[in-house]
Amino acid sequence: MSSAVKTSSLTGAPTIPVFICALAIFLLSAMDVAMKVLVIAVGVYNTVLWRSMLATLVAGAGWSAGPRSRPTVPVLGLHALRAVIVGIVILCFFWGLARLPLAEAIGLSFIAPLFALFLAALLLGERIRRQAIWASMAGLAGVAIIMAGQFGRASYSQDAVLGTAAVLVSTVFYAYNLVLARQQALLAKPIEIMFFQNLAIAIILGLAAPWLAVALPADLWLPLAGVTALSLVGQFMMSWSYARAEAQYLIPTEYSAFIWAVALGWLIFDEAVTWTTLAGACLIIAGCLIAMRANPKLAEPIEATI
């Protein structure tokens, strides 16, 4: 750990890790924008398929270059299980993202840690505290406000409702992914997880390639490379930050993704943000912060999934 990080830790929030984590959130928010562009152009299946293949090559090179151990069969099974869950998360989330304003999709996705509270109780036997119940009520109220805003629009479409449902389904599976990620982090290093996760997703999606895959247009390879680079660099920067600062300082930076979603959605897609989206997202974020205090394990670092 650098002396600068140590010094800043003594005087309050560690400045450098917080800044790096905030920058990582911006890069991952930019990745969401690029993914939305690609999904609109070639569909969610082909976008995720080609991204997984490219990420496998990059992460595989990093894994091969460094010191590594051959994963055991149980660890490979855990890699495969999480890859299936992550694949569902990615497909549902980005399918919904293509049909919703960016800020709305990101705001809805914040509810995942609240689902994780109850999944941890169900799967790991953890006790649900009173704060967790209040947190869940706040989060669900936020979701209800966002959805009410959709139905209140004169021009709301069935596509938007289905997009909302897809994002909410992705958050449920993402919550299960949080539980798996904590088990996985005890058994493998991040670069190994990234490599085998992307490899498994590429293999699983590749099974349908003869029927669904299309060649990526030449002008989309650069955005795809950008998506892959933003994802891998963002994941690395978040891992670096969480290794050098307490989660209590870093978790709040993750909600800056909503600010970036508002700004980038308006700048790139000319998306206006309604007061219901703002109010709903604020309630969900408040619920997540309450949940973090109720169960500090939710604040333990995991690598970004999408």
Three-state SS for 161-221 is HHHHHHHHHHHHHHHHHHHHHHHHHCCCCHHHHHHHHHHHHHHHHHCCHHHHCCCCCHHHH
Which residue, among 239, 287, 231, 237, has the nearest Cα to 108 in the 3D structure? Answer: 287
Residue 149: what pLDDT? 77
Q: 230: which 2 tokens?
A: 């933003």
> What is the rounded radius of gyration, in angstroms, for the C-alpha atoms of the chain?
19
Percent of the chain past pLDDT 90, that is, above it, reads 30
Q: 222: which 2 tokens?
A: 């650069």
For the residues 16-34, what does the mean pLDDT come to? 90
Residue 6: what pLDDT? 42
CA dihedral 109, 113, 117, 123 (to 10 degrees): 80
Q: What CA–CA distances, in Å, run from 269 to 227, 259, 261?
A: 17, 15, 11
For the residues 287-291, what does the mean pLDDT come to? 78
Total-model pTM: 0.82
> Cβ distance 126 to 302 under 8 Å?
no
51-65 residue pLDDT tens: 999 999 998 998 888
d(CA 166, CA 52): 20
266-282 residue pLDDT tens: 999 998 888 888 898 89
152-201 residue pLDDT tens: 665 567 788 889 999 999 998 988 887 787 777 778 887 888 889 899 99
Which residue, among 221, 245, 263, has the nearest Cα to 26 in the 3D structure? Answer: 263
